[in-house]
């Protein structure tokens, strides 16, 4: 069984699709595509069906040479069951995810994305939506840092599961 990661932000057009695509990029580099599966969702339903924000796509292309793929969707209660690890971009997303989990049975699966950063001393991935290009580039840097740390941890966990 592949290990399933879900990245969550508010609208699912900036931070979480960037995290999903960056993680897929890292998985590609290590030939781990099939063993770890990534998806993203938003706690709000404002942008359902929309592609990632163009400004985020430009930042990802210029910094990492990757194309952002996907269409925004809203986080469902079933996601809590289906995914092994759910990564919230900020505290508000974290609380919104836990609010879907009335009994608290999935609480252990929900983590803050920045817990996996090693280069950036930051607790939340800022929402770049209302800022300029610099904000989008900064988010790419944070997410690359966090995804690198996360991948290390997931590789350890998922290899333990298989042996």
The residues assigned a catalytic role are 9, 15, 127
- The three state secondary structure string of 14-48 is CHHHHHHHHHHHHHHHCCCCCCEEEEEEECCCCCC
Contacts of 53 (CB under 8 A, 6+ apart): 13, 14, 129, 136
Q: How far apart are CA 37 and CA 90, in angstroms?
A: 22
Q: Across-strand partners of 88? A: 8, 112
């Amino acid at each position: 069984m592949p290990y399933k990661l879900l990245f969550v932000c508010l609208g699912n057009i900036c931070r979480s699709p960037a995290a999903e695509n960056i993680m897929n990029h890292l998985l590609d580099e290590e030939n781990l595509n099939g063993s770890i599966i990534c998806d993203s969702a938003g706690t709000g339903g404002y942008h359902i069906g929309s592609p990632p924000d163009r400004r985020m796509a430009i930042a990802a292309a210029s910094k990492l040479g990757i194309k952002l793929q996907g269409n925004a969707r809203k986080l469902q209660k079933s996601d809590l069951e289906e995914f092994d690890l759910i990564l919230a971009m900020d505290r508000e997303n974290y609380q919104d995810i836990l609010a879907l989990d009335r009994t608290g049975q999935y609480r252990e699966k929900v983590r803050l994305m920045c817990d996996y950063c090693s280069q950036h001393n930051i607790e939340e991935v800022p929402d770049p939506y209302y800022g300029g290009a610099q904000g989008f580039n900064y988010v790419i840097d944070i997410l690359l840092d966090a995804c690198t740390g996360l991948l290390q941890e997931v590789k350890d966990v998922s290899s333990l599961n298989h042996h």
